[in-house]
Amino acid sequence: MGKSIPLELNPATTVEVDAAVVAQGLDLAVADFRQLMADGKVSVLCERGVGEDHGLYRATFYHDGNRVRLVVDADGNWARVCG
């Protein structure tokens, strides 16, 4: 068996990001992005950092074959955008 890794479940954390940053990364107008989110046509994966990345979150938004990934802190300040 390989080396074990820690998994943290709960507490639930809410992280807010700037819709304009995500919309731009998906090449959408902000209003269109918000509507697509409301319609459930944008998928989101949010991962919590551990170890040296503790306190950071990686939020990945997917729409129509496009992806934008933000690394953000708990206050929603984005540290970097990944392709």
Q: Which residues contact 35 (CB under 8 A, 6 or more apart)?
A: none
Is there a contact between 37 and 2 (Cβ–Cβ < 8 Å)? no
Is there a contact between 42 and 56 (Cβ–Cβ < 8 Å)? no
Backbone phi, then psi, for 53, in 5-degree steps? -100, 10
Is the pTM value of this prediction over 0.85? no
Strand 43-48 relative to strand 66-73: parallel, antiparallel, unpaired? unpaired
Distance from C-alpha of 18 to C-alpha of 13, rounded to nearest angstrom: 17
Per-residue pLDDT of the chain (83 residues; tens, 9 = 90+): 566 666 666 667 788 888 999 999 999 999 999 999 999 999 999 898 989 999 899 999 999 999 999 998 878 788 767 65
Q: Name the token pair of 33.
A: 């992005």
